[in-house]
Chains A and B, each alone.
Chain A
Amino acid sequence: MSKLEIRDLQLYYDDFKALQGISMCIEERRVTALIGPSGCGKSTFLRCFNRMNDTIPGARVEGEVLLDGWNVYAPDLDVAELRRRVGMVFQRPNPFPQSIYDNVAFGPRVLRLARSRVLDDLVKQSLRAAALWDEVKDKLHSSAFDLSAGEQQRLCIARVLAVKPEVILMDEPCSALDPAATLQIEDLMRELREHYTIVIVTHNMQQAARVSDYTGFFWLGELVEYDETGKVFTHPAQRLTEDYITGRMG
């Protein structure tokens, strides 16, 4: 079942057309990887799902992004609510300059989702779901900056989980991490896909092959190929995809 449906999505940065009319469906509770060379539009595309491009001056969108059939670009849409439902994890871990606990509690407090003991439980659940609880349970009130980069990234994932999202967008979530921390995030993604729809942008093709169910290959703002990951990495339908994933160009 599709969680997100994208219909003829075009995005302009002033006169420059960065996305050339993309149509695709993102399956619910599956991991979808978006790959392609730098500047191909994959991160721009990802940021359309929770309207993160709105903050970029000159950015303009045509077409539709439907979340459960609900147009995220509808004029009366509550963007804060959209971003609760569609959370995001960025390339570099970006914890707030606060304690581990307060980082996770931040969203629920702002959105008034929980208080006191319920909030404690929510923080614990979120840290558990992000596979971080055992490492931080005895130092919840230490600064988030005391954590390693891999732990900080899992903290950011816990922060997203705390507001009970439905979709998690990950923009190169492991590019600043060492191999061990990368594998921990990948393990986490496999667990999270049981409950969440995950869309990941990655430059690491082995990572896309390892963790995703579906892969979309972008080239110059176009979606060249979108299929089951196993097929894309063993016998892609398009020559361009083959050339890219085998390192013949890009």
Chain B
Amino acid sequence: MSKARELFDRELMDLRDNILDLGEMTKIAIRLAIQALKEQEEGLARQVMAGDEKINAKRYDVEEQCLRLIATQQPTAGDLRAIIAAIHIVTELERMGDYASGIAELAIRLASQPHLKPLIDLPRMAEIDQEMIRASLEAYLKHDPDLAFETAKRDVEIDQLYDQTYRELLTYMLEDPRNITRATYLLWVAHKLERIADRVANICERVIFVSTGEFKELNF
């Protein structure tokens, strides 16, 4: 293998590492945002919101890295697909970071009042989201379309938990109109967690494209 190819491979490895770092940053943001919500930790919530800037900056760094690789290496075939997919993946991860920041903002709004109900399903949704992010990036690293497919399928679990949360919060709202504000905020949190899983499914579609060269829509 030529030195030029070895250098290109190192740059691709570096790109993968950066994507993993961004994935890790996003997962942490989701975890801390939910922790802030659950423990009514306003300071922690503000920390998550401030951290979103770092996620955004990292996303632009990776995009720039991709553009540089396209301009200097003129990638083809699997290399080209991996780089194009990387641009999409970091965009999805960055948007997940925005959702985490949005949850943190809602956590601040909810911090001054007692919890409407014990938070069980929302933390569970956040956990599944994080597991899905981890698995989708593992599938990207391994070029594993089967793992990508199975990961996207977990969107069904998220949708079920969302529906369950929605119904439960609706009951609280109907029970007492004074619950409406808090219940609405929690519903917004649930919606953001649900959207995160949709974005993971988008990543999984990209992984399948990298591995097979085919565009496949994953709707479960």
Which residues of A are in contact with B by a Cβ distance under 8 Å? 205-206, 209, 233-236, 241-242, 245-249
Contact = CB atoms under 8 A, between A and B. Distances in A.
Contacts of A245: 76-77
B72 interface: no
Interface residues of B, number: 16
B76 A248 contact: no
B80 A234 contact: yes
Contacts of A236: 77
B172 to A, nearest CB: 51
Nearest to A237: B213
A234 B74 CA distance: 12
Interface string B197-220: 000000000000000111000000
A246 B79 contact: yes
Given A209-B76, A234-B76, A236-B77, A247 B213 contact: no
B216 to A, nearest CB: 13
A167 B212 CA distance: 36
- Residue of A205, A236, A247 with highest tally of chain B CB at under 10 A: A247
B210 to A, nearest CB: 10
Contact of A246 (B75, B213, B214): B75
B120 interface: no
B1 interface: yes
B206 to A, nearest CB: 14
Contacts of A242: 77-78
Contacts of B5: 246-248
B1 A234 contact: no
B74 A206 contact: yes
B8 interface: yes
20 contacts: A206-B74, A209-B76, A233-B76, A233-B77, A234-B77, A234-B80, A234-B213, A235-B78, A235-B81, A235-B213, A236-B77, A241-B77, A242-B77, A245-B76, A246-B5, A246-B75, A246-B76, A246-B77, A247-B4, A248-B1
Contacts of A205: 76
Contacts of B2: 247
B93 to A, nearest CB: 24
Interface in B60-98: 74-81
Contacts of B78: 235, 242, 246
A33 B80 CA distance: 20
B189 to A, nearest CB: 40
Nearest to A235: B213
Nearest to A233: B76
Contacts of A234: 76-77, 80-81, 213
A119 B2 CA distance: 52
Nearest to B80: A234
Contacts of A235: 77-78, 81, 212-214
Contacts of B8: 247
A242 B76 CA distance: 8
Q: Pick the 8 closest A-B CB pairs, nearest first.
A: A235-B213, A247-B5, A233-B76, A245-B76, A242-B77, A246-B79, A246-B77, A206-B74
- Residue of B1, B74, B75, B78 with highest tally of chain A CB at under 10 A: B78
A31 B2 CA distance: 30
Contacts of B77: 233-236, 241-242, 245-246
A131 to B, nearest CB: 26
A188 B76 CA distance: 25
- Residue of A233, A245, A246, A248 with highest tally of chain B CB at under 10 A: A246
B214 to A, nearest CB: 8
A229 to B, nearest CB: 11
Nearest to A241: B77
A219 to B, nearest CB: 15
Nearest to B211: A235
Interface in B1-59: 1-2, 4-5, 8
A241 B214 CA distance: 18
- Residue of B74, B212, B214 with highest tally of chain A CB at under 10 A: B74
Nearest to B8: A247
A177 B80 CA distance: 27
